[in-house]
Amino acid sequence: MSNLDLFTTRRPELGLSKLRQLDVTLVLSWAVVAIAVAWAVAPGLFTPHSGTVGIAGNQLRAPDATHWFGTDEIGRDVLARIIYGAINSLSGAVVAVVVGFIGGTSLGLIAGSVGGRLDTIIMRIVDVLLSVPGLLFQLSLIIILGFGTVNVAIAVGTTTVAGFARLMRSEVIRVRRADYVEAAFGSGGRFGAVLWRHVLPNSLGTVIAFAALQFGSAILAISTLGFLGYGAPPPTPEWGLLIAEGRNYLTTAWWMTTFPGVIVILIVLATNRISQSLRRTP
């Protein structure tokens, strides 16, 4: 048998082995996140109903073939409200993660690379931020910045800066001790150039996995603040606000709170699973 015959006969076996190694939970997690992103990008493709305008006579209608998730107290389709609310919740989570990632990564990179007194000062500030309860800090910032999805996202992102900074600092310290970094400095490399070419890229792996984890946490935090009334004002659809609107109808219209809550839980679990896979990737 020739080498070509061996290769062709082993290809199906290799394909089956890769298929067996495929993680179903990870695939489902990516599918959940992809659907949520598609809702945010093109909500009109997924529902013919409006997210803000109700239909007379359809108040508190139970889930059926026309309204899969039922209707609310003024006849608005709950599924349509969830779909149109994806842009507010997901964009807010993206802003929160970007704020935390940029601020925390910058502080951690400076503290871990410079060291000395500057490292001590930055880490003491980080310790103070970590000692303050997250929800209390977020509410304090919202009072200063004002209500709204963007301000809530900035407040949520600010509370994650300390976590990003501490993780980034530990990764920078680990990478700086590597032989290739010492060789780069020994060959005459500039401090900023070595940080940009060697230290920063090799320190971001764990931080990116942590950012994926924080994305789910940011959705949960923004939904919590929206539930408390600090997020998008009615009738703007937002997942936390949808849960808050349905709490007065739990006994008569359970679907108003249950389905938005299930969507939030599924997306948070999906992002957590993706974060685990990123953390395990070498």
Predicted local distance difference test score (pLDDT) of residue 111: 87
Predicted local distance difference test score (pLDDT) of residue 19: 44
Predicted local distance difference test score (pLDDT) of residue 8: 43
Predicted local distance difference test score (pLDDT) of residue 110: 87
Predicted local distance difference test score (pLDDT) of residue 22: 63
Q: How far apart are CA 221 and CA 17, in angstroms?
A: 40
Residues in the chain predicted with pLDDT less than 50, given as ranges, are 2-4, 6-16, 18-19, 282
SS (H, E, C) 33-81: HHHHHHHHHCHHHCCCCCCCCCCCCCCCCCCCCCCCCCECCCCCEHHHH
Predicted local distance difference test score (pLDDT) of residue 190: 76
Residue 196 three-state SS = helix
Report which of 214, 115, 124 is spatially closest to residue 164, judged by C-alpha positions: 214
For residue 249, how far is the Cα from the chain centroid? 30
- Map out the domains of the chain as residue ranges: 72-280
CATH superfamily of 72-280: MetI-like (1.10.3720.10)
Predicted local distance difference test score (pLDDT) of residue 37: 93
Predicted local distance difference test score (pLDDT) of residue 35: 94
Q: What is the pLDDT of residues 179-228, one digit of tens each?
A: 777 677 677 667 777 777 777 788 888 888 888 888 988 998 888 888 88
Predicted local distance difference test score (pLDDT) of residue 250: 84
Report which of 118, 220, 90 is spatially closest to residue 160, judged by C-alpha positions: 220
Q: How far apart are CA 68 and CA 282, in angstroms?
A: 42
Report which of 130, 200, 129, 212 is spatially closest to residue 168, judged by C-alpha positions: 200
Q: What is the pTM of this model?
A: 0.81
